[in-house]
Structure 1
Amino acid sequence: MVTHSRVAIVGAGAVGASLAYGLMFKNICTEILFVDVHPDIVNAQVLDLADAASVSHTRIRAAVTAQEAGQCDIIVMTAGAKQRPGEPRTKLIERNYRVLKNVIQSMQPIRADAVLLMVSNPVDILTHLARKLSGLPPRQVLGSGTYLDSTRLCVHLGEMFDVNPQSVHAYVLGEHGDSQMIAWEAATIGGQRLTTLPDFDKKVDKAKVGQAIAGKAMDIIRLKGATFYGIGACAADLVHTIVLNKKVVHPVSVYVEKLGVTLSMPAKIGWEGVQEVYDVHLSKEEEEQLRASADALREIQDLY
């Protein structure tokens, strides 16, 4: 019997709608509730998505109150301010901190065993703040982190080595942002370490691959204004993993005790949220990159 089946999505924009659309076709939720400060947008999304009910058993509706959303099994935060042209990152964080604080306060008291999934950016900082503001145990608060970046990496490497991306296991770790890094030493295809393949050095320019993965979002934004299908699919998969207690390992934004910071590391995910965080085999250079990413995030997270 599925026990984690009511999902609240905070934010009825393109990302929230893409997430809801993906979840409806998975048929794993009994109900999806939308919450947004713009009721007309919520009603429009509900009306539009309800047309997909003919191929889904999932009921979708507007939450009666924010408190009702706080009683759902899983709460997904997609709402947040977008960065303005020329705006410093610190200003964006401050604006989204206020948004997050207001939302979490409006949902109180949040269900004690709820899992809070952060998708809004900057996701590592906001996951750190959500953990503090919600009062939930650290394991019940996680962010989408570098899951999408890692998916992009596996697809990219699959194309380079002519293999299905599902057979590629590779992680982008650290910040979902400027200081993220690729764990090349831990990357494998069919159980064989990628860096030991005979043609690895000929096929792979690590710097170029890193730039391609980190820069893909900006390419999409430049061409169409926003990204939402990829992150919507990844968020839906994370909800799927929690609802069915799949215990799949994904790179997500979690509190890493040994680093004293919230960033992306591979984590086993199930009903309780994060069940275990795994260490990854890294080269000395990669360890330095991960610590540099942690230091950059900690400098901001310590302000809150």
Structure 2
Amino acid sequence: MASVPGQRVAVIGGGGNVGASTAFALIAKGIPVEVLIVDVSEKAALGQALDISDASFMMPGTCRQATFKEAGQADVIVVTAGARQMPDEPRSNLIDRNYAIIKSIMDSLQPIKSTAKILMVSNPVDVLTHIAQTTSGLPREQVLGSGTYLDSGRLCNALSDITGVSPTSIHAYMLGEHGDNQFTGWSAARIGGRPLLDHPKLQGVDLESINKKIAHKAYDIIDAKGSTYFGIGMCAATIAEALLNNTSQVFPLVHYVESFGCYMSWPGAIGSDGVEQSFDVKLDASENEKLYVAIKAIKEACAKYT
């Protein structure tokens, strides 16, 4: 029998669509890791684990059902559990419903491995990452959230369609809040080492319409099929991979930004210790106004759960 990989990633809420998509992406990416599926519905967790394990026979990773206690000793703990966002419902409405869920999860994971990293995916992720840190007892740099990584990927895909350049070669971020107050950092965006907005194919393009389309895409998906999961599952798996492999890659994700005094979606480099660096993004005046609107909304929400 093949040996079990030494590193573990636990997926809390793995019985659901987002959790299962994250677990499957971890296996499909060929990461040599043991994936633990945990859910309050043990039957759903078992079903997903058995199904995903069928996809692992040609991959170095393995997948099985596990308990909350086992999950607390994982190297990376991905939390996807939470109340589902309804069509046209602002992410902020989920806070009260999800606070009790997140606190219960953190209590069930105890004692949490001191070197573990917690990756929050549940919405509203900026506020719930703050709640996860305060209830888990882990240092701030070890608790992060998926943030606007997926939104930024959607942005780069849209810009790729316009410019004809690969989305991986476009450096542009959605920033501030993963929610209705997110905005595009157009002035800081780059392509081929030059300002993105200097690209000839972007001249005369309605930037605000792009921003609105990106910000609303999740609602379009929810309206059409009930929830989003494939995109965010791949994003969560990619962040987990960077944490495991100590890559120091930069992602637009939720982490505590000292200069702003709160958890928010902002570019940060991550490695085996969690968030290693946070970057100073140069924005123009109008973008800074949007930034502080987002920060104010996050701080007001977090103040209720300190």
In the alignment, which of 30, 34, 49 is matched to residue 31 of structure 1?
Answer: 34
Secondary structure of the 2:57 match is helix
Change (3 A) 1:283 1:132: same
What letter corresponds to residue 181 of structure 1 in structure 2?
A: F
Deviations 1:269-298 (A, max 9, x none): 110110000011110111111111100111
Which residue of structure 2 aligns with residue 286 of structure 1? 287
Q: What does 1:133-172 correspond to in 2, within 5 Å?
A: 133-172=135-174
CA distance in structure 1 between the aligned counterparts of 2:290 and 2:38, rounded to whole angstroms: 38
Change (3 A) 1:130 1:162: same
CA distance in structure 2 between the aligned counterparts of 1:86 and 1:269, rounded to whole angstroms: 33
Q: What does 1:3-82 correspond to in 2, within 5 Å?
A: 5-11=7-13, 12-63=15-66, 65-82=67-84
Change (3 A) 1:266 1:86: closer
Which residue of structure 2 aligns with residue 268 of structure 1? 269
RMSD: 1.6
CA distance in structure 2 between the aligned counterparts of 1:276 and 1:52, rounded to whole angstroms: 35
Instruction: Give 4+ residue runs of structure 1 displaced > 4 Å after superposition.
Output: 84-91
Aligned-residue offset at 1:238: 0.3
Q: What does 1:113-262 correspond to in 2, within 5 Å?
A: 113-202=115-204, 204-262=205-263
CA distance in structure 2 between the aligned counterparts of 1:177 and 1:135, rounded to whole angstroms: 26
CA distance in structure 1 between the aligned counterparts of 2:246 and 2:182, rounded to whole angstroms: 28
CA distance in structure 2 between the aligned counterparts of 1:83 and 1:189, rounded to whole angstroms: 34
The two structures have a TM-score, normalised by structure 2, of 0.94
The two structures have a TM-score, normalised by structure 1, of 0.95
Change (3 A) 1:19 1:266: same
Question: Number of residues paired by the alignment?
Answer: 300
Aligned-residue offset at 1:121: 0.6
Contact 1:4-1:74 at 8 Å conserved across structures: no
Structure 2: 5+ residue runs without aligned partners? none
What letter corresponds to residue 117 of structure 2 in structure 1?
A: V
Deviations 1:62-84 (A, max 9, x none): 11x31111000000000001135
Aligned-residue offset at 1:196: 2.3
CA distance in structure 2 between the aligned counterparts of 1:59 and 1:223, rounded to whole angstroms: 33
What letter corresponds to residue 39 of structure 2 in structure 1?
A: D
CA distance in structure 2 between the aligned counterparts of 1:106 and 1:53, rounded to whole angstroms: 28
| Identity across the alignment (%) | 48
Secondary structure of the 1:54 match is coil
Which residue of structure 2 aligns with residue 106 of structure 1? 108
What letter corresponds to residue 267 of structure 2 in structure 1?
A: P
Aligned-residue offset at 1:266: 0.4
CA distance in structure 1 between the aligned counterparts of 2:87 and 2:218, rounded to whole angstroms: 16
What letter corresponds to residue 112 of structure 1 in structure 2?
A: S
Secondary structure of the 1:7 match is strand
